[in-house]
Amino acid sequence: MKRRFVETIALALLRGTAFAVLLATILLIGSIVRGGAGVITWEFLSATPTEGMTHGGIFPAIFGTICITLLMIVMALPLGVCAAIYMVEYAGSSGLARVIRASVNNLAGVPSIVFGLFGVGFFILFIGRSIDRVRGGGLLFGQPAMLWAAATLAVLVLPVIIVNTAEALTAVPRSHREASFALGATRWQTVRRVVLPQARAGILTGSILSVSRGAGETAPILFTGCAYFLPRLPIVHLGVPFTGLSVPMVNPLDQFMELSYHIFIMATQSTDAAATRPIQYGTTLILVALTFILNLAAISLRVRYRRGLESR
Amino acid sequence: MDSRIESKIGKAGTVPVVPGAVRRLRRGRWREVFIETFLRLNGFIAIAAILLIFIFLFKEGIQAFRTIPAGHFLQSQELDFDNVPQTVRLWQPVGQNPKYSLIPLLLGSFLVALPGTLIATIFGVACGIYLAEIAGKRTREVIKPAIELLAGVPSVVIGFFCLATLATFVQDALGTTFRLNAMVGALGVSLVIVPVIATMTDDALRAVPGYLREGAHALGANRWETITRVVVPAGASGLVAAILLGMGRALGETMIVLMATGNAAQVTLNPFDSVRTMTATIAAELGAVPQGGEQYRALFLVGSLLFVMTFLINLVAELAVARMRRRLAL
């Protein structure tokens, strides 16, 4: 009797805590949606901040977030995926490969602010200033810029991408590779025709999750390129030779506004944080929506992918 | 291998010779070598980038010892108003007589990380056990994505939530002196690491083979007894790893603590005081320091310390996972 009683209570408690976590998630999202939903208008999304950041929209921050995320993807994704393919398919399980794997795993857990330190010290002050010294004539590379912020984020997501890709690759059964080798396929043919098609969805899922992680990070870009307020977009007009035309292009050497940094700075450093609460909520809602879209895409992709694996 | 095939084709002539087959084979081999080299290069670049962080951080951090005596990272002497030397443990890098005691920062970090990990352990482990052992398929399909979504919320959003909503709620409920304190930060941090712990607990317990459960049931154990005496002990290493990884995340969390803990570097053990963590110190001060100065290097030293601490925690967690894999012979 007593055993039965203990079991009932304990199981109910476990169920209760699980639903408490669910409730906390709903509360968190709910409070942001409630605070931000009324703020979001077309103007909020498309205008620049005005009147000392107390009015207007957040378009430059959205633009900056998208630019830096794309730049980060270009820098980190091909490198990370190729590195993971090498690690899993070529390096085998030698001692060195194991050490590398362990350190990559561990780096995925290094605090993001440490990457910020690295970004300032290495990219801006070491590489940037060195380029400036060689180039001569003034500060251009050796200051916070979108290029360095994106590079810092790329270093941050690189281990995450490698770990996720490696996981997707190792999920492909070894027997499939052996069968392919037995048919006379070379290593690359095996990788390209047998392993990658099966791991594709997994790699994609992992990559989307990594990108979403990078897009939401604030600490690494605090000092590597974010601007509190920038009245212009980080765009430069490049002249096309012989035509007299000029093409607008994102200038990676400019500073930029960014959603997560905007939230942080508006909530903590602005002169009247209480008065701009609606803008803060609105910005938060946009950032959450952006990362949720990425996450939902990844989750639904994975559900489909798992179902595919089970039915096989 | 290539040339052997070629000679066979040439000599015996038993294999029908396809025009261009040999050339294609040879080209394929070059492609093979090229691709392997390319992939290896990528691997090395990635590893080099990662190693660089390590080297660079320590190189700058070690230099702090050049100008600051090692003892000053614990405490330093200061003359009070009566010119009597006093021992102080302060982090005050700006001013006439800068002080670099790491003690308030370490205390701050642990005052946030330990309660945060504790709260997250209770909820995360319970949630993981529920998901792995109790939940039906339908409930699982609701709770699991919710946890994943929570894991995907950027930390600055949670920091904002703490600052704007949770802090007021905690102050009203508990009547704390400071609106922003270590406990608010701990609650916020626990929101970040509950998904980590829950997901890893779920994975660890689902890796426990089913026959162990069946054996327990056959011996007359009910579900709760099976969980506490069989499943959890079998997956214990995995649970330890989950909690450790959670703690690593809690120590390294930056935006939440920067926004929600009040940022007052003081020596205190009261979790309802305002504190300042190591991460928040770097985030708050790095923007204003001149490059290569004493404070700049001191901040890199704090960063190196953080790196070492989280690296060790993660390493132990990894060993725990490896141990579980071995024990369950996966």
B89 occurs within a structural domain = no
Amino acid letter for position B158:
I
Q: What residues of chain B lie within 8 A of the CB of A281, using their CB?
A: 164
Same domain, B173 and B294: yes
Amino acid B21: pLDDT:
66
Q: What residues of chain B lie within 8 A of the CB of A228, using their CB?
A: none
Amino acid letter for position B249:
R
Q: What residues of chain A lie within 8 A of the CB of B259, using their CB?
A: 264, 267-268
Q: Is A149 buried (19+), middle (13-18) or exposed (0-12) by CB count in 10 A?
A: buried
| ipTM exceeds 0.90, yes or no | no
* H helix or E strand, kind and range, residue B233: helix B232-234
Amino acid B224: pLDDT:
92
The tens place of each residue's pLDDT in chain A, 312 residues long, gives 788 899 999 999 999 999 999 999 999 999 999 988 888 888 888 877 777 667 777 888 888 899 999 999 999 999 999 989 988 888 876 666 777 777 777 777 788 899 999 888 888 888 888 888 888 777 778 888 889 999 999 999 988 898 889 989 988 999 999 999 999 888 889 999 999 998 988 899 889 888 988 888 888 888 888 777 776 777 777 777 777 677 777 777 788 888 899 899 888 877 777 778 888 899 999 999 998 888 888 888 877 777 665 554
The tokens 């230099």 sit on which residue?
B63
Q: What residues of chain B lie within 8 A of the CB of A24, using their CB?
A: 150, 191, 194
How far is residue B157 CA from its own chain's centroid? 18
Q: Do B50 and A159 touch (CB under 8 A)?
A: yes
- What is the 8-class DSSP label of residue B130? I
Q: Do B152 and A158 touch (CB under 8 A)?
A: no
Option in A82, A105, A295 nearest B149 (CB): A295
Amino acid letter for position B288:
A
Q: Mark which residues 288-307 of B lie under 8 Å from A by CB.
A: 291, 299-300, 303, 306-307
Amino acid B89: pLDDT:
75
Given a cut of 80, whether residue B81 has pLDDT beyond it is no
Q: What residues of chain A lie within 8 A of the CB of B249, using their CB?
A: 109
Highest mean pLDDT: which range of A45-49, B279-283, B286-290 = B279-283
Q: What residues of chain A lie within 8 A of the CB of B131, using their CB?
A: 18
Give the pLDDT confidence of B226-256 residue by residue, as tens digits: 999 999 998 888 899 999 999 999 999 999 9
Taking the Cβ of residue B2 and every Cβ of chain A, the question of whether any pair is shorter than 8 Å is answered with no
- What is the 8-class DSSP label of residue B70? G
Option in B50, B299, B310 nearest A111 (CB): B310
Same domain, B193 and B298: yes
Chain A's closest residue to B202, CA to CA, is: A18
- Domain finish residue from B35, B62, B89: B62
Query: How far, in Å, are A99, A186, A294, B194 from residue B198 at the CA level?
Result: 28, 42, 21, 6
**Structural domain count of chain B:** 2
Give the pLDDT confidence of A170-190 residue by residue, as tens digits: 889 999 999 999 998 888 899
B82 occurs within a structural domain = no
Q: Do A295 and B148 touch (CB under 8 A)?
A: yes
Q: Mark which residues 177-206 of B lie under 8 Å from A by CB.
A: 191, 194, 198
Domains and CATH numbers, chain A: 60-258 (1.10.3720.10)
Same domain, B54 and B130: no
Q: Do B50 and A105 touch (CB under 8 A)?
A: no
Highest mean pLDDT: which range of A51-65, B18-32, B100-114 = B100-114
Q: Do B164 and A281 touch (CB under 8 A)?
A: yes
Given a cut of 80, whether residue B18 has pLDDT beyond it is no
- Domain finish residue from B34, B62, B90: B62
Same domain, B107 and B25: no
Q: Do A21 and B150 touch (CB under 8 A)?
A: yes
Find, among B147, B137, B131, the residue nearest to B201 by Cα. B131
Option in A32, A87, A291 nearest B43 (CB): A87
- Averaged pLDDT for residues B156-178: 86
- Nearest Cα of chain B lies from the Cα of A39 at a distance, in angstroms, of 16
Same domain, B117 and B216: yes
Of A11-15, B8-12, B152-156, which gets the smallest average pLDDT? B8-12
Instruction: Output A96 or B302, whichever has higher pLDDT.
Output: B302
Same domain, B141 and B236: yes
> With contact defined as beta carbons under 8 Å apart, do B114 and B228 qualify?
no
Mutation for testing the B interface, residue in A21, A122, A268, A306 having most B CBs under 10 Å = A21
Same domain, B58 and B143: no
**Per-residue buried b or exposed e for B58-97, using 16+ beta carbons within 10 Å of the residue's own CB:** bebbebbeeebeeebbebbeeeeeeeeeeeebbbebeeee
Taking the Cβ of residue B176 and every Cβ of chain A, the question of whether any pair is shorter than 8 Å is answered with no
B208 occurs within a structural domain = yes
First to last CA, chain B: 37
SS3 B219: coil
SS3 B210: helix
- Quick one: pLDDT band at residue B279, thresholds 50, 70, 90? very high
Option in A11, A21, A121 nearest B56 (CB): A121
Same domain, B238 and B309: yes
- Quick one: pLDDT band at residue B215, thresholds 50, 70, 90? very high
Mutation for testing the A interface, residue in B8, B224, B245, B256 having most A CBs under 10 Å = B224
Same domain, B104 and B175: yes
B74 occurs within a structural domain = no
How far is residue A25 CA from its own chain's centroid? 21
Taking the Cβ of residue B61 and every Cβ of chain A, the question of whether any pair is shorter than 8 Å is answered with no
Same domain, B285 and B218: yes
Amino acid B5: pLDDT:
46
Residue A148 gets the label, from left (phi > 0), alpha (psi -120 to 50) or beta, of alpha
Chain B's closest residue to A78, CA to CA, is: B42
Q: Do B129 and A14 touch (CB under 8 A)?
A: yes
Q: Mark which residues 74-133 of B lie under 8 Å from A by CB.
A: 122-124, 126-127, 129-131
First to last CA, chain A: 46
What would the two tokens of residue A123 be? 């990219």
> With contact defined as beta carbons under 8 Å apart, do A198 and A119 qualify?
no
> With contact defined as beta carbons under 8 Å apart, do B169 and B184 qualify?
no
For position B300, which CATH number holds?
A: 1.10.3720.10
B308 occurs within a structural domain = yes
Amino acid B271: pLDDT:
79
Instruction: Output B87 or B125, whichever has higher pLDDT.
Output: B125
- Nearest Cα of chain A lies from the Cα of B198 at a distance, in angstroms, of 9
Amino acid A109: pLDDT:
79
Phi, psi angles (nearest 5°) of residue B79? -85, 130
Amino acid B10: pLDDT:
43
B149 occurs within a structural domain = yes
SS3 B58: helix
DSSP codes, chain A: -HHHHHHHHHHHHHHHHHHHHHHHHHHHHHHHHHHHHTT--HHHHHSPEETTTTEE--HHHHHHHHHHHHHHHHHHHHHHHHHHHIIIIISTT-HHHHHHHHHHHHHTTS-HHHHHHHIIIIIIIIIIHHHHHHH-SS-SSSS--HHHHHHHHHHHHHHHHHHHHHHHHHTS-HHHHHHHHHTT--HHHHIIIIIHHHHHHHHHHHHHHHHHHHHH--GGGTTTTB-S--SS-SEEEEEPTTT--EEEEE-TTS-B--HHHHHHHHHHTSTTTTTTHHHHHHHHHHHHHHHHHHHHHHHHHHHHHHHHHHH-
Instruction: Output B69 or A132, whichever has higher pLDDT.
Output: A132
Amino acid B63: pLDDT:
85
Phi, psi angles (nearest 5°) of residue B92? -140, 75
- Domain finish residue from B43, B62, B81: B62
Q: Which segments within B28-141 are labelled E, that is strand?
A: 76-79, 85-88, 91-92, 99-100
Q: What residues of chain B lie within 8 A of the CB of A296, using their CB?
A: 149
SS3 B175: coil
Amino acid B12: pLDDT:
43
Same domain, B268 and B322: yes
Amino acid B68: pLDDT:
76
Given a cut of 50, whether residue B4 has pLDDT beyond it is no
Phi, psi angles (nearest 5°) of residue B80? -85, -165
Given a cut of 80, whether residue B83 has pLDDT beyond it is no
Q: Do A100 and B47 touch (CB under 8 A)?
A: yes
DSSP codes, A158-172: HHHHHHHHHHHHHTS
Q: Angle at CA A219, nearest 5°, toward A127 and B263?
A: 125
Count, residues in chain B: 330
Same domain, B104 and B30: no
Instruction: Output B328 or A203, whichever has higher pLDDT.
Output: A203
Given a cut of 80, whether residue B136 has pLDDT beyond it is yes
Chain A's closest residue to B123, CA to CA, is: A17
- Residues above pLDDT 90, as percent of chain B: 32
Q: Do B152 and A125 touch (CB under 8 A)?
A: no
Amino acid A310: pLDDT:
55
Option in B32, B52, B299 nearest A187 (CB): B32
Query: How far, in Å, are A76, A87, A101, A112, B127 from residue A81 at the CA level?
Result: 8, 10, 14, 21, 33
Q: Do B127 and A120 touch (CB under 8 A)?
A: no
Q: Do B254 and A21 touch (CB under 8 A)?
A: no
Q: What residues of chain A lie within 8 A of the CB of B60, using their CB?
A: 121
B125 occurs within a structural domain = yes
How far is residue A115 CA from its own chain's centroid? 14
- B17 is in which domain, residue-wise? 2-62
> With contact defined as beta carbons under 8 Å apart, do A36 and A282 qualify?
yes
Amino acid B9: pLDDT:
43
How far is residue A142 CA from its own chain's centroid? 24
